[in-house]
Structure 1
Amino acid sequence: MTDQKLPPFIQPGERVVLFDGVCKLCNGWVRFLIRHDPQQRIRLASVQSVQGQALLTWFGLPTVQFDTMAYIEAGELLVRSDAVLRILAQLPGLWRFLALLRVIPRPVRDWCYDRIALNRYRLFGRYDRCLLPNADHARRFLQD
């Protein structure tokens, strides 16, 4: 694969999670990933960031209201339960076994995912603005 076919801001071999930076649940997920990805295999970008907006545009996704987390690997975009399960498969230890939930039919998995995603602000809350990464975590986020 040549660099020209890669989405913007993504280097060959990078895996990127796009998340809602004002969602408290999504920020908790990001903290979980940082804690459980010691090899730093997964990079991060909020959908509100310049990088996130460029990636959403690249894949033809909405840039104003985004109701799913997305995962990009090898230039391929996964969303909803497929994204979560692929991310879990990248983590070490017992977390990767949760990826076995792929045996549940996608419509059922996505229905469950959507119930949480569409109600995430009401259930978990939201921040007034996108949180900035801690200095020691900044290298995990896509940069210009």
Structure 2
Amino acid sequence: MKNMERSHEPVLLFDGVCNLCNSSVQFILKHEKEEKLKFAAIQSESGKELLSHHHIDPTRTDSVIFIENDKVYFMSDAVLTLTRYLNFPWSFSKHFLIVPRSFRDFIYKRIAKNRYRWFGKKDSCMIPTPALRKRFLE
């Protein structure tokens, strides 16, 4: 599998038709310390390959998944773990991992459940600009 060769790189899987998710990816790209993160829409071939490779049921996937060193993070763990790649003050958010997961995931699930209603939805996945294409798995 072509994209599995790159699985050692940290990858954020995101809902490619979700406006909130797309805005979050743009935010991450703007505030990242170094260009280390890769991105893949869950709906893309790479996204589907990564879900399959990590035995993740695509029908039970809601919003973002972060994969780092072959470890998979879901929900609030995914969001907060990837913040260590961001510049200060955004990187400070990783410290919220000390908040009980049940509380963090409760908030996360509320936002994820309502994301299309609150932020909207696109008809198709985001297409990265030529300058950003190398950061996205196809």
Cα RMSD after superposing both structures: 1.5
Matched, 1:75 2:75: no
Equivalent AA in structure 2 for residue 73 of structure 1? E
SS at match of 2:131: helix
8 Å CA contact 1:85–1:99 kept in 2: the answer is yes
- Where does the alignment leave 5 or more consecutive residues of structure 2 unmatched? none
Equivalent AA in structure 1 for residue 26 of structure 2? R
SS at match of 2:89: helix
What's 1:40 paired with? 35
What's 1:139 paired with? 134
Q: What do residues 1-43 of structure 1 show as CA deviations (whole Å, max 9, x unaligned)?
A: xxxxxx824253x110000000000000010111111511111
Q: Of the candidates 97, 110, 113, which is equivalent to residue 115 of structure 1? A: 110
Aligned counterparts, 1:79-94, within 5 A? 79-94=74-89
> % of aligned pairs identical?
38
8 Å CA contact 2:65–2:78 kept in 1: the answer is yes
Work out the CA distance in 2 between the residues paired with 1:63 and 1:11. Answer: 18
What's 2:23 paired with? 28
Work out the CA distance in 1 between the residues paired with 2:117 and 2:7. Answer: 36
SS at match of 1:127: coil
SS at match of 1:53: helix
What's 2:97 paired with? 102
Work out the CA distance in 2 between the residues paired with 1:68 and 1:128. Answer: 16
How far apart are residue 81 of structure 1 and its match? 0.5
Relative to the length of structure 1, the TM-score reads 0.88
Relative to the length of structure 2, the TM-score reads 0.92
> CA 1:22 to 1:138, structure 2 compared with 1: closer, same or farther past 3 Å?
same
- Where does the alignment leave 5 or more consecutive residues of structure 1 unmatched? 1-6
Matched, 1:60 2:55: yes
8 Å CA contact 1:9–1:51 kept in 2: the answer is no
